[in-house]
Amino acid sequence: MTDSTIRLSDYRPYPFEIDQVELRFCLAPQATRVHARLTISPSEAGHPLRLDGEELRLISARIDGAALTGSDYLLSKTGLTIHPAALPEGRFTLETEVEIAPESNTALEGLYMSKGMYCTQCEAEGFRKITFYPDRPDVMAPFRVRIEGAQPVLLSNGNPVASGDGWAEWDDPWPKPAYLFALVAGDLREVAGEFTTMEGRKVHLGIWVREGDEDRCDFALEALIRSMEWDEAVWGRAYDLDIFNLVAVDDFNMGAMENKGLNIFNSKLVLASPETATDLDYERIEAVIGHEYFHNWTGNRITCRDWFQLCLKEGLTVYRDQSFTADVRKGAVKRIDDVMALRARQFREDQGPLAHPVRPDAYIEINNFYTATVYEKGAELIGMLRTLIGDAAWERGKSLYFDRHDGQACTIEDWLSVFEAASGRDLAQFKRWYTDAGTPRLIWSESWQDGRFTLTFRQSTAPTPGQPDKAPRVIPIRVALLRANGGEALPEQVLELTEARQSFTFDGLAARPVPSVLRGLSAPVMLEAEADTPDHRAFLFAHDTDPFNRWEAGRALAREALEALAQGAAPSTARPFIDAFGALLADPAPEPSFRALCLALPGDDEIGKSLFDKGITPDPQAIHAARMALTRALGEAHEPALTRLYADNALDGAFSPAAEDAGKRALRLACLRYLTALDGGALALAHFEAATNMTDQIGALGLLIAAGKGAAPSAAFYERFKGDRLVMDKWFMAEVAYAPPETAPERAAELAAHPLFDWKNPNRFRALLGGLAANQAGFHRADGAGYRFYADWLIRLDPLNPQTAARMSTAFETWARFDADRQAKIRAELHRISTLEGLSRDLSEMTARLLG
């Protein structure tokens, strides 16, 4: 890497403490004045005072009231450095005034404007675009903020102190790093609520939205209250201010942000009504509201020492939000959803050129490390830790973490050491999960001899960029042994694999058991059996007492069938799966949401990865064709059962977003997919026309588009919803994601010229480009049209919004899977991007890593 690389090993504490921050904002779109008064104490004499600052026009700087002269400081493109000689010996105040132009801020980082409203995004390093400050998470200080502006609503962190016409003051007593600063000003409407904490504190809850959106906030407010209750009940953590505000904004680079007392959200993760939001939207809204709220303790009260420790707050908070959803919805189904997402995003990342450890040790642009590895694999490590040390030690360790570290900026070492103390275990080998990239491959085999059953495991991890050699990790493997006629011969237990190769024996069994291995995906590894048969999988799919492994067995059968078909095998190869599918349809026991998951086929990307894992070059078009063929074959084989399930799960009465009803809708749509392959879309059209909620409507529309029958319903959908920006995102996405692959790049290009394609809005940009990337066979069309279109748009977006452009470039991370011709085409596009003049740091780091 280049010399702009930031390294963990270079970490040094900041040589000053900031005792108090006082900020005054005079808002104006092109010339906002920010006055900052910092009370500073040197912790060690003789250091220059280094403050970060970018794109700021410095108006004045004073120390203890005296203006600095030119020789006292150095001003550069990245900050302000005040010479030690210009600093008083003890505590002093630094006052600066700067001017910024929020209206011209298209990067959506720092203070910017979205539809006439001022808002901020400071994580990771946006505060330096607001004022001069040590913009690093280990500098924590109480903030007091005064906002002056013509907007009716003026919000910041903490508690409101005073306000008048055109001004408001806020005080946040909890010391916080600058990345948690927030300010919002605009013409907003409040949907208010109230919560009393277990400590008896009355908290005012406010959801702030634009006029007209007030009636879409009830679910978000309920979700917030559920989150607050859950964090008290399960983690013993209560809220710590008198007010909690949450604002919805339309232009936002990500999902949401946990600013202290003032969460800012992408409006798609707040606003919901049955007509406009799908069941998945409802579930995500609840999960993300929970996630940001949970950050108040895991992230805000205890924060990260430096950005290398990002997983300290993110992995843990994802773990918390996943547990929350599992508790308030259906735990087994939630685990399956999480594992599907982990494999689709994190395993894919871990296997490609962007692979990095959960705790990286070098970066150029930290925004490029808000990844599935840091977040989702980070969460898996927390779950694994709990499995390894057991619930009692886990509970003790959690309490110790909050007792010991409240108010501090911490490291992964701090985190692990509380669990070492609580469990009495040495977690040195476990720590490799944080420092070593790559997904271990775990191969198992079994033997049965003289009444003794043996399970043998081998683990290995392929080299990843910068890490050629990998030592064995500790892997908790949940295992149960099943009886051949159903039921458990040996209940579930955890085996601890610590060596590269290790065997575990089981005695006292009356007959040879059937093992159910790695239940719940008890470690983020790729499991393979030395010798596995469709019979073993079909048995587990029908009889495993663990719902996760039951689903997993069916998934593997489906994957194998698709892989074989994609390589030209005879249709009869799919027989074991088609029969097992039928057995599941006939089994009355599984509840609808679980059954819906078992009936869905793996996506094209999953098949592509799986073939590549086996050393086979995937052909995206053949995979797509295989999925079509298998869908049809399943429909033909099981039409009566599918028709019956579809009919039996119809809902009437008022819409409820609760898991129960959502499961039935998901199951009906799963059945509808197969029935559409048979009738060409008649039933799907009826479903679309009768739909009274967005789940049914967009679900059916997607099937119709894919069946080539989308023109009329899509036009009707467009007419009905063209005034609704969130629904229009869904339309843009569906039009490309489900388009026939042969024409997907052309459809994307057509839509890019559509008057509603507001490409500067990240949601709309992601809808169109994300839709194309989701259409694997279309994106990877052999002539490279998909790649070219995609790269053109990254190039166009980069100068305005580098963060989103860099994020979207991950669509190219799988290039090494494909044939030489596709590889060359993708690499040529990446090369074209990487050699552009003036390319952002964000996108140039990404293209360099992607090219390897």
266 binds, among Zn ion, ligand B3K, none (CB under 5 to 8 A by kind): none
For Zn ion, give the closer residue by CB, 314 or 560.
314
* Distance in angstroms (rounded) separating the CA atoms of residues 58 and 55: 9
What are the tokens at 22? 């006082």
376 binds, among ligand B3K, Zn ion, none (CB under 5 to 8 A by kind): none
Assess contact for 762 and 800: CB atoms under 8 A. no
Residue 458 dihedral angles phi and psi, to the nearest 5°: -125, 135
For ligand B3K, give the closer residue by CB, 257 or 382.
257
For ligand B3K, give the closer residue by CB, 314 or 337.
314
Least separation in angstroms between CB 137 and ligand B3K:
11
What radius of gyration do the chain's Cα atoms show?
A: 28
For ligand B3K, give the closer residue by CB, 370 or 731.
370
Assess contact for 233 and 207: CB atoms under 8 A. no
* Distance in angstroms (rounded) separating the CA atoms of residues 527 and 548: 14
DSSP, res 836? -
Quick one: how many helices (H) and strands (E) in the chain? 27, 31
For Zn ion, give the closer residue by CB, 73 or 370.
370
**Exposed, middle or buried: residue 17 (CB in 10 Å: 0-12, 13-18, 19+)?**
middle
Least separation in angstroms between CB 368 and ligand B3K:
9
The answer for residues whose C-beta is within 8 angstroms of residue 848's C-beta and 6 or more apart is 834
Residues from 67 through 126 that contact Zn ion (CB under 5 A): none
* Distance in angstroms (rounded) separating the CA atoms of residues 79 and 136: 13
Amino acid found at 571:
P
176 binds, among ligand B3K, Zn ion, none (CB under 5 to 8 A by kind): none
257 binds, among ligand B3K, Zn ion, none (CB under 5 to 8 A by kind): ligand B3K
Assess contact for 730 and 714: CB atoms under 8 A. no
Least separation in angstroms between CB 317 and Zn ion:
5
Residues from 316 through 345 that contact Zn ion (CB under 5 A): 317
Least separation in angstroms between CB 316 and Zn ion:
9
Q: Which of 54, 286, 292, 606 is catalytic?
A: 292
Least separation in angstroms between CB 806 and ligand B3K:
10
* Distance in angstroms (rounded) separating the CA atoms of residues 706 and 742: 11
283 binds, among Zn ion, ligand B3K, none (CB under 5 to 8 A by kind): none
What are the tokens at 377? 């694999």
Least separation in angstroms between CB 295 and ligand B3K:
6
370 binds, among ligand B3K, Zn ion, none (CB under 5 to 8 A by kind): ligand B3K
What are the tokens at 272? 């919901």
138 binds, among ligand B3K, Zn ion, none (CB under 5 to 8 A by kind): none
| # chain residues binding Zn ion, by CB under 5 A | 2
**What x/- string results for residues 499 through 538 when contact with Zn ion is judged by CB under 5 A?**
----------------------------------------
* Distance in angstroms (rounded) separating the CA atoms of residues 670 and 597: 8
**Exposed, middle or buried: residue 510 (CB in 10 Å: 0-12, 13-18, 19+)?**
exposed
For Zn ion, give the closer residue by CB, 359 or 817.
359
Least separation in angstroms between CB 318 and Zn ion:
7
For ligand B3K, give the closer residue by CB, 315 or 786.
315
The string of DSSP codes covering 650-700 is ---SS---SHHHHHHHHHHHHHHHHHHHHHTTHHHHHHHHH--SHHHHHHH
Amino acid found at 249:
V
Least separation in angstroms between CB 266 and ligand B3K:
10
Place of tokens 């003794």: 452
CA 510 to mean position of chain CA atoms: 46
Short-list 86, 80, 29, CA closest to 59: 80
Least separation in angstroms between CB 211 and Zn ion:
29
For Zn ion, give the closer residue by CB, 314 or 605.
314
Is the link from the previous residue into 124 a cis peptide, with omega within 30 of 0? yes
Residues from 670 through 699 that contact Zn ion (CB under 5 A): none
* Distance in angstroms (rounded) separating the CA atoms of residues 495 and 309: 29
For Zn ion, give the closer residue by CB, 123 or 436.
123
123 binds, among Zn ion, ligand B3K, none (CB under 5 to 8 A by kind): ligand B3K
124 binds, among ligand B3K, Zn ion, none (CB under 5 to 8 A by kind): ligand B3K
Q: Which residues bind ligand B3K (CB under 6 A)?
A: 123-124, 254, 256-258, 291-292, 295, 314, 367, 370
Asked about 292 being catalytic, the answer comes back as: yes
User: Secondary structure of 511-556 in the HEC alphabet?
Assistant: CCCEEEECCCCCCCCEEEECCCCHHHHHHHHHHCCCHHHHHHHHHH
Q: Dihedral, CA atoms, 625, 628, 631, 636, nearest 10 degrees? A: -100
254 binds, among ligand B3K, Zn ion, none (CB under 5 to 8 A by kind): ligand B3K
Q: Give Cα separations from 463 to 460, 498, 516 (angstroms).
A: 10, 19, 29
97 binds, among Zn ion, ligand B3K, none (CB under 5 to 8 A by kind): none
For ligand B3K, give the closer residue by CB, 308 or 370.
370
148 binds, among ligand B3K, Zn ion, none (CB under 5 to 8 A by kind): none
For Zn ion, give the closer residue by CB, 179 or 219.
179
Least separation in angstroms between CB 313 and ligand B3K:
8
606 binds, among ligand B3K, Zn ion, none (CB under 5 to 8 A by kind): none
Q: Dihedral, CA atoms, 127, 132, 134, 135, nearest 10 degrees? A: 20
For ligand B3K, give the closer residue by CB, 34 or 304.
304
Burial 486-496 (b: 16+ CB within 10 A, else e): eeebbeeeebe
Q: What angle do CA 258, 264, 267 make, to 5 degrees?
A: 130
* Distance in angstroms (rounded) separating the CA atoms of residues 106 and 298: 30
Least separation in angstroms between CB 484 and ligand B3K:
46
Count CB atoms within 10 A of the CB of residue 666: 25
Residues from 299 through 318 that contact Zn ion (CB under 5 A): 314, 317
* Distance in angstroms (rounded) separating the CA atoms of residues 605 and 608: 5
Least separation in angstroms between CB 252 and ligand B3K:
10
Residue 59 dihedral angles phi and psi, to the nearest 5°: -95, -50
Place of tokens 């087994």: 332
Least separation in angstroms between CB 314 and Zn ion:
5
Q: Give Cα separations from 236 to 45, 403, 744 (angstroms).
A: 41, 12, 50
For ligand B3K, give the closer residue by CB, 295 or 519.
295
Residue 721 dihedral angles phi and psi, to the nearest 5°: -115, 10
Binding site for Zn ion (CB under 5 A): 314, 317
Known catalytic residues? 292
